[in-house]
Structure 1
Amino acid sequence: MTILEVQNLKKTYTTRFGGAQVEALKNVTFSVEEGEYVAIMGESGSGKTTLLNILAALDKPTGGHVKLKGRELSSVPEKEIAAFRRQNLGFVFQDFNLLDTLSIRDNIFLPLVLAGKKYAEMEKRLVPIAKSLGIYELLAKFPYEVSGGQKQRTAVARALITKPQLILADEPTGALDSRAADDLLNQFTRINEKGQTILMVTHSVKAASHAGRVLFIKDGEVFHQIYRGKMRNEELYQKISDTLTVLTTGGERYV
């Protein structure tokens, strides 16, 4: 089943003083199936951050359509948009976005508190997630008392606890050392294997090589995509590296 449909997406910005127009997205079309793990790659300025903001319903396109489970994002009333995000989307950010004044437990609970869930329900959801992510023993601690990897696993738990249709991850390994990054990527793989749909924006070839499909954005358009098929991570890593070489050296768009 298709969970996310992006059709002919365009986004044009007008410069500060109303001068030139900048086309951040030109004509982006792709879809994501339920249970897929998709990575989006591209150089800085390629349009991938703009794309992520539109998929997160944080920005609106100039043209085209984005549908989540068949519902047009632009049709969601402004007063309902925050609740729509909480109910359907989970977010994992590069800089964790945790509140230092809240414990690890309360940071994870936050979207459920905002949704009006009862404590017993929140605790019931929390325990298996915290145990699977290896942070159960840290729940009483505060973000400033734990490592970067533990902060990011807390952020993943916060994203998962709402049972989202789609997890959007923005450079999730960007602030982590290599060991913590490897651990997080392995966690993402396990989460995906349980059926969670993940869409990740990343500069990291290693991170992208854990995905089932990699989309490359160049100059506001889909330049190429690679399906994992039966490739091991190492083989996919090489394919991604080769594609990035073509992309950065001015090769023509293909597939």
Structure 2
Amino acid sequence: MSILEVNSVKKIYTTRFGGNQVQALSNVSFSVEEGEYVAIMGESGSGKTTLLNILAALDKPTNGEVVLDGKSINNIKEKEISAFRRDNLGFVFQDFNLLDTFSIKDNIFLPLVLARKEYGEMKERLHPIAKKLGISDILEKYPYEVSGGQKQRAAVARALITKPKLILADEPTGALDSRATDGLLKLFKEINKEGQTILMVTHSTKAASHASRVLFIKDGEVFHQLYRGKNSNEEMYQKISDTLTLIATGGMKNE
């Protein structure tokens, strides 16, 4: 069953000066199945960020439609967008987006506080997630007191605690060293095996090689895709590298 459907999405921006039009997305269509782990790759300027903003309900398409769990994001009223985002989506960002004046625990609690959940329920939800992510011992610390890898695990906990239908990850390994990157990718794989749907935008071939499917965006549309099948991470890494080379050199036709 598809949890996310992106149907013929187009996005055109009009520049403030001169009124020139820039087409960021020309015709993007794909779907994500419930429990799938999908990576989106593409060169800078390919439209990845614009697409992510539309999927996150931070921007609206010029044409086309995005449907999450059977509900069209396009039709949600402005005053309901924040609640919809909070109830359905979990976010993991490259720069963590943690508040330095809040403890790790309070950072994780933040979306539940905004949703006006009872403190008892928040504690109940936190314990198993913190244990799974290996951050139980840093919950009372502040972001500036912990490592980059621990910050990203806290960000993942904050994304998971709302029980989202879809996790959107934007370059989640971009600010991490290789050891923390390995830890985060292993973690993503584990939470995906437990049924969590993940959509990750990344420049990292290594990060993308852990996904079950990789979509390549070029010139504002889905240009090609790779399925894991029975491939190992190493085999996926090689296939992704070869595909990126072919796309960059113009050696691959649109599929």
TM-score (norm 1): 0.99
Runs of 5+ in structure 2 lacking a partner?
Answer: none
After TM superposition, list the pairs within 5 Å mapping 1:93-242 onto structure 2.
93-242=93-242
1:159-185 deviations in whole A, cap 9, x for unaligned?
Answer: 000000000000000000000001000
SS at match of 1:40: strand
Identity %: 77
Aligned length: 255
Please give the alpha-carbon distance, in whole angstroms, between the structure 2 residues aligned to 1:20 and 1:246.
32
The superposition leaves residues 94-130 of structure 1 with CA deviations (integer Å, 9 ceiling, x where unpaired) of 0000000000000000000000000110000000000
Distance 2:238 2:244 in 1: 10
> Distance in 1 between the 2:218 and 2:200 partners?
16
In structure 1, what is the Cα distance between the partners aligned to 2:176 and 2:156?
14
For 1:194 and 1:18, locate their aligned partners in 2 and report how far apart those are by CA, in whole Å. Answer: 51
Quick one: distance in 2 between partners of 1:244 and 1:169?
A: 21
For residue 125 of structure 1, what is the amino acid of its counterpart? R
**CA deviation after TM superposition for structure 1 residue 17, in Å:** 1.1
User: Which structure 1 residue ranges, 5 or more long, are not aligned?
Assistant: none
In the alignment, structure 1 residue 68 sits paired with structure 2 residue 78: no
**Residue matched to 2:51:** 51
TM-score (norm 2): 0.99
What is aligned with 1:34? 34
CA RMSD of aligned residues (A): 0.7
Q: Structure 2 CA distance, aligned partners of 1:253 and 1:180?
A: 36
3-state SS, counterpart of residue 199 of structure 2: strand
Runs of 4+ in 1 over 6 A off after TM superposition: none
